Amino acid sequence: MYPKNKDNSYFSSVSVQDILVISRIPISLWITLVFIGAIIMQHISKPLLIQSLLFTALITIHNVMYWFSNSFLNNGLYFLVQGCLIFTCSLLLPNGSPVILLGLLPILISQSITKFQHKLKVFLVFIIFYLLYCYVIGIIYGLAELPKFIIILFIILTIVIFYSVIYNRQVNARIRMEHYLQDLEAAHKKVEELTLSNERQRMARDLHDTLAQGLAGLIMQLEAVDSHLEKGNINRSREIIQKSMERARETLRDARKAIDNLRIMSIEETNFYYEVIEQIKRFKDETSINVDYHIEPTLQVTPLITEHSLYIISECLTNIAKHSQADKVNVTINEVINHLRINIEDNGIGFDSNSLGKHKGKYGLLGLKERARIIGGKINIQSDFQMGTKIIIDVPIS
C-alpha cells in the first residue's frame, strides 16, 4: 500500500511536490486571465493608472510565488503572503475586486488542501480568508451586497474544491502507479538475477552429476586395472577396461544431455524402479562392494521427483565408492505415509557430519541438499568416524 504520512494522508511529501509541478501551468494561465479580467472591469468603470501598475507588479509576484510554490510551501508564511497579495490587489482595483477575489481565493484554498491534507488546518485557512473576503467586500460594496457575494463565493469554492480533490486523487493515483511500476521493474530485475543464479546452480549440479561422477567412476576402474596388472591378472584387467570404455561412453552421453538439455529417453518414460536397480548393478560391477537392497516396484512418483531422486542415489553411491572404504551397502526405497523414503547406509569409515559445506570443492553433499529442497524433500545425513554413514531422504509424493 502507498505509505501514509503522520497526518494519516495517502499523499507523500514527494507526491505533493509533483502535484504542484503538474498543476502550475494551468493555474498560472488562470491567474493571467484573472489579471486581464480585473484590468478590463476596472478600466470600463474608472481607469486607475498608478493602481493598475501596482496591481500588475503584485499579481506578477503572486504568480511567480505560485510557480515556485513547491519551494515555498514548507513555510507557513506562503499562504499569509499570498492572501495579503490577493486582498491588496482587490483594494487597488475596487471594480475588479470580484474577479480577483472569486478567481484567486478558491485556488489558494484548494492549494491548502493539497499541502496540508488535514481538515482542521484547511478549515482554519478557509475561515481566515473567508473573514477577510467579507471585510473587503463590505468595504467596497457595502454590507447590503455582502450576501450576494458570499453565495457566489461558496458556489465557486465548491466547484473548485471538488475539482481540486478529484484532480489531486488522479494525479496521486498516477504517481502511485509510477512508484508501483518502479517497484515492479526492480522486482523483475531481482527475479532475473535469482533465475540466473538458480540456472547456474542447476548447471553446476548437472555437470557434477554427469562429468564428475563419470570421471570418478573411470578413475576407480583404472585404479582397479592397475592393481590387477600388478598382480598379473590380465583377464580381469581386460574385463574392467571394457566396462571402463562403456562407462566413458555413458559419461559422454550424459554430458551431451546436460549441455543440450535433452534426453535419449524422456524422463516421463523412465521407470524409477528399474533405473535404481540398474544404478545398483552398475555400482556393484564397478566397485565389487556388496549391496543389499529392497525397493518397492509399485512406487508412483512424478518425473521431477524421479529425475532428482536418481541423481541423489547416484551421488550417494559415488561418494561411498570414493570415500567410505565400505564393503557393504544397504539401500531401501519405499513409501511411508505419502512420502518417498530413500535410505542408503554403509559400514565405511564415516566422517564428521558437522563439517558439511565447509570444505571448498566438496560439493557432492551440498548438491544432495539442493536437489532434495527442489522436490520439497528433507535430507538427514548421519555419520561419525568409524561408524559408517546413513543418509535418509523423505520426499512428499501425494
* pTM beyond 0.75: no
Task: Give backbone dihedrals phi and psi of 395, rounded to 5 degrees, phi first.
Answer: -130, 125
What would the pLDDT profile of 116-175 be if each residue is shown by its tens digit?
Answer: 666 777 777 777 777 777 877 778 777 777 787 778 777 776 776 676 667 667 767 777
Q: How many CB atoms lie within 10 A of CB 250?
A: 14
The identity of residue 186, as a single letter, is: A
Name the pLDDT band for 374 (thresholds 50, 70, 90).
confident
More confident residue, 294 or 287: 294
Distance CA 211, CA 205 (A): 10
Q: Is 292 helix (H, G, I), strand (E, B) or coil?
A: strand
pLDDT at 284 over 70: yes
Closest among 45, 143, 151, 137 to 100, alpha carbons compared:
137
Distance CA 360, CA 87 (A): 79
Beta strands in 209-316 (DSSP E): 290-295
Distance CA 265, CA 31 (A): 78
What is the rounded (10 degree) CA torsion for 203, 204, 209, 212? 130
Average pLDDT of span 74-97: 81
